[in-house]
Amino acid sequence: MNLVEATIAWLADPAHWSGVSGIPARMLEHVALSGAALLIAAGIAIPIGVWIGHTGRGVALAANVANVGRALPSLAVIGIVLPITAAIDPQAGFKLYPTLVAMVILAIPPILVNTQTGVGGVDAEVVEAARAMGMWPGQVVGRVELPLAMPAIAAGLRSAAVQVIATATLGAIFGGGGLGRFLVEGIAQQDDGMIFGGVVLVAGLALAVEGAFVLGEASLRSPGLRDAAVRGAAARAA
């Protein structure tokens, strides 16, 4: 049996599609972990990115922090965080938090940088018009800067999501759940079908999420922004 056949056979086996360690359950764990990491990262990165983009302060600092974040290998982050969280909570501190923290740290840079460049890149005249019309700073952000930065922010979220989904796979090495378990167990059991089945599932999930973001962003974007001018703005932010 070759690799492709083994993978298809493993994926096709109904026994693998049920139970707490079945594909749907693992998929759910994977999505839940990734979603949580993405939400936490967005909750940190978007407000900071908006503040930096709006005020123009701390741009260089943010760029440096983001670069460091990008350069850190996820495994190194897990290695650093693991002793700390394990000391605090011997159970989840070992299995869950190190991976989660690594995912959040990885997800922050693309969201932060895109939010900041998106908000900061809104045409100065448009922002000035908003101020001149008597908007409070919060209204300038909420009614003008955020909607105009939306395509850039969505692009940041999308690339963060894909990275987070890939990183979530690592969690299984430390006893966490998710689709990574199929890789870990497949290697242990020397089951090629299971290993590559897991790989296919992770890749498929990443692609599906990417697609969902593209569609979601397109349907949320103001029709006024579906033109060449916006492609220009998105290119600046990327």
Partner 1 sequence: MSRAARVVFEHVSKRYPGTAEGSGAVDDLSLEVPAGTTCVLVGPSGCGKTTTLKLVNRLIEPTSGRILVGDRDVAGRDPIVLRREIGYVIQQVGLFPHQTVGQNVETVPRLLGWDSGRRRARTDELLELVGLPAARYRDRYPAALSGGERQRVGVARALAADPPVLLMDEPFGAVDPLVRERLQNELLSIQEGLAKTILFVTHDIDEAIKMGDRVAVLEGGGRLAQFGTPDEILANPASDFVARFVGADRGLKRLALARVGDLQPADVTIAHPGDSAADARARVVADPFPYLLLLYADGQPIGWIGGKDVPGDGELAESMAVSASPLLDRHTTLKDALSMLLASSVQAGIVVDRRGAYQGIVTADMITERMRPAAESRS
List interacting residues with partner 1 (CB under 8 A). 123, 125-126, 128-136, 139, 143-144, 147-148, 222-225, 227, 229-230
CB–CB of 115/157 below 8 Å?
A: no
Dist. CA 207–CA 184, nearest whole Å: 22
Q: Indicate the residue among 32 and 229 with the shorter CB distance to partner 1.
A: 229
- Least distance in angstroms from the C-beta of 160 to partner 1: 23
- Least distance in angstroms from the C-beta of 147 to partner 1: 5
- Least distance in angstroms from the C-beta of 152 to partner 1: 13
- Least distance in angstroms from the C-beta of 52 to partner 1: 21
Dist. CA 13–CA 221, nearest whole Å: 41
Least Cα distance to 27 among 177, 179, 203, 161 occurs for: 179
Q: Indicate the residue among 57 and 131 with the shorter CB distance to partner 1.
A: 131
Alpha helices in the chain (DSSP H): 3-12, 23-55, 59-71, 74-88, 92-95, 97-120, 124-132, 137-139, 146-168, 180-188, 192-220, 228-237
Dist. CA 105–CA 125, nearest whole Å: 35
- Least distance in angstroms from the C-beta of 176 to partner 1: 41
Q: Indicate the residue among 12 and 220 with the shorter CB distance to partner 1.
A: 220
Q: Indicate the residue among 150 and 164 with the shorter CB distance to partner 1.
A: 150
Q: Indicate the residue among 14 and 134 with the shorter CB distance to partner 1.
A: 134
